[in-house]
Amino acid sequence: MPLYLFAGVKLISTVKKAISWTTHRLRHKLHHFSLNELKEVFVKGGIPLVVIVVGWEILEDLIFPAVFWWLGKNVHPVFYSAIPTSWLLCLHWAAVPIIWTLWKRISKK
């Protein structure tokens, strides 16, 4: 197989993997807003945990991109590249337990 064909096949494979990963991440994000997921979170921790989970998702999906847009406009255009990154990366696995622990300590429950 000529080298240029091998490079084309490898590029197509990489693009397919990137598209698959991106669709998986988007499905994962939307899963957190499903009614069944919110019911499960409510059963585990009550209203405070639901507020923390939904609040974090709003922060992650709306506030962070707005901040990166503002930084791109006013500081340096490289910050624009963080907007889609903030939608694709999912940090709730670390942030929600930290915020939940802080809430438990503050509320003393």
The reported pLDDT for the residue numbered 90 is 75
Q: Would you place residue 29 in the very low, low, confident or very high pLDDT band (cuts 50, 70, 90)?
A: confident
The reported pLDDT for the residue numbered 30 is 75
CA distance 71 to 64: 10
Please indicate, yes or no, whether the overall pTM of this predicted structure exceeds 0.95: no
Q: What is the pLDDT of residues 59-96, one digit of tens each?
A: 988 899 999 999 999 999 999 998 888 877 778 788 88
User: Which parts of the chain are beta strand (E)?
Assistant: none
